[in-house]
Amino acid sequence: MPPTPKPDQPGASGDHVFNPSALEDLGTPGSRGGSAPERITEVGLRPVALAEFVGQGGVVENLRVHLDAAMEREEPPDHVLFSGPPGLGKTSLARIMAGELGTSLQPTSGPALDKPRDLVGLLTSLKRGDVLFIDEIHRLPIAVEEYLYTAMEDFRVEMTLDSGPHARILPIELEPFTLVGATTREGLLSAPFRARFGLSLRLDPYPALELEQIVRRAAGILKVRIDDEAAAILAARSRGTPRIAGRFLKRVRDRAQVDGNRAIDADLAEATLRSIGVDGHGLEEMDRRILRCLADHAPQPAALKTIAAVIGEMEDTIEDVFEPHLLRSGFLRKTPRGRVITEQGLQLIGAEPPMAPEQGGLPFST
């Protein structure tokens, strides 16, 4: 009889890279993993039902039909892919799906699933109808993504044991589940992977009126008083993103508390945003650094790599976090040769338009 492996030996339970039980309480209000007051508050601000979700009307309606039809058939819904800029509610919708279905949510992220065995450990822990949520799904390694193909279609995976002439395949049957993926870069998903999602929904930035509703709802949960003008100011500066609106509201709440639990009015909101470097267009210091870099290169375009080197930020961060709002606001535009600052962008940072090269002008500096 072979000896029982010790915990520090390969093959023992202690050698598992992935522990499904570690995710059971992840993100649950009041759980061991979320005991910090700020974290509990963050979860508490999220809607828990589709009826509470503000905005994204088309997305919510399509998701409601999809869930209602699946529940009538008493089967798990098709796999769902949410895409769009960060902070728009993709994670909240995944949590809402599990709540509406009355099943458990198993959250993870693409970078956390480094090896196929990490994924297999998670898949085998799922019960029938559970929702597996993978954030940043575009960052899944190729080997892990390929294991998901059969798991999504046939609810089974095949593990390869040993190697060489002694290699053998171990098929593992899975309980039917629903995979929910969230991505900010849908174009990075392979075509075969994207085609396996039965429902693909894109979330867009919110209009100011919907953000005002979100700010007022969050203020009620946080038990702070805020007037309509202050809510409108926070909404207008939030770049169409509820997550940013929530962050601004918390900073204004801090100042209101320090000032003696005063109500949040327009003056307090303006003063707080000004103190953290947010201007009337919702731009922060990094946005203005990008515009100053482009102004220094005007009238010539600046490559993304050049901008990243000048301002000291990652290219992906510039492209995913800062650039979309600058483009929507009309402060910069993309060309085949790079990024160019617009006349509105020049006016915003107080720079003079550069002279045309044929007039002998040189790029200006600010």
Q: State whether residue 335 is helix, strand or coil.
A: strand
Residue 236 CA, distance from chain mean position: 20
Q: Domains of the chain by range and CATH?
A: 16-202 (3.40.50.300), 208-275 (1.10.8.60), 285-359 (1.10.10.10)
Residue 101 is predicted with a pLDDT of 93
Residue 292 is predicted with a pLDDT of 93
Residue 29 is predicted with a pLDDT of 40
The pLDDT confidence band at residue 18, using thresholds 50, 70 and 90, is very low
Separation CA 245–CA 91 (nearest Å):
16
Residue 237 is predicted with a pLDDT of 94
Instruction: Report the pLDDT averaged over residues 153-165.
Output: 78
pLDDT(67) > 60: yes
The pLDDT confidence band at residue 356, using thresholds 50, 70 and 90, is low
Q: How does strand 199-202 pair with strand 80-83? A: parallel
pLDDT(8) > 90: no
Residue 129 CA, distance from chain mean position: 24
Q: How does strand 178-183 pair with strand 131-135? A: parallel
pLDDT(193) > 90: yes
Query: What percentage of the chain exceeds 90 in pLDDT?
Result: 61
Residue 30 is predicted with a pLDDT of 38
Q: How does strand 80-83 pair with strand 156-161? A: unpaired
Q: Each residue of 330-339: pLDDT tens digit? A: 999 998 899 9
Residue 164 is predicted with a pLDDT of 67
Cβ-Cβ contacts under 8 Å for 111 (sequence gap 6 or more): 136, 139
Q: Each residue of 224-233: pLDDT tens digit? A: 999 999 999 9
pLDDT(27) > 60: no
Instruction: Report the pLDDT averaged over residues 275-300.
Output: 92
The pLDDT confidence band at residue 355, using thresholds 50, 70 and 90, is low
pLDDT(39) > 60: no
Residue 46 is predicted with a pLDDT of 87
> Would you please indicate which residues are annotated as catalytic (active-site) residues?
90-91, 135, 184, 243
Q: Which of 142-146, 173-177, 260-264 has the lowest mean pLDDT?
A: 260-264
Q: Count CA within 13 A, CB hemisphere, residue 88.
A: 23
pLDDT(105) > 90: yes
Residue 186 CA, distance from chain mean position: 12
Higher pLDDT, 350 or 35: 350
Residue 115 is predicted with a pLDDT of 86
Instruction: Report the pLDDT averaged over residues 52-77.
Output: 93
Separation CA 276–CA 356 (nearest Å):
37
pLDDT(357) > 60: no
Q: Where are the alpha helices (DSSP H) in 155-241?
A: 191-195, 208-222, 228-236
Instruction: Report the pLDDT averaged over residues 91-102.
Output: 94
Residue 191 is predicted with a pLDDT of 92
The number of beta carbons lying within 10 Å of the beta carbon of residue 207 is: 11
- Nearest alpha carbon to residue 243 among 94, 98, 91: 91
pLDDT(25) > 50: no
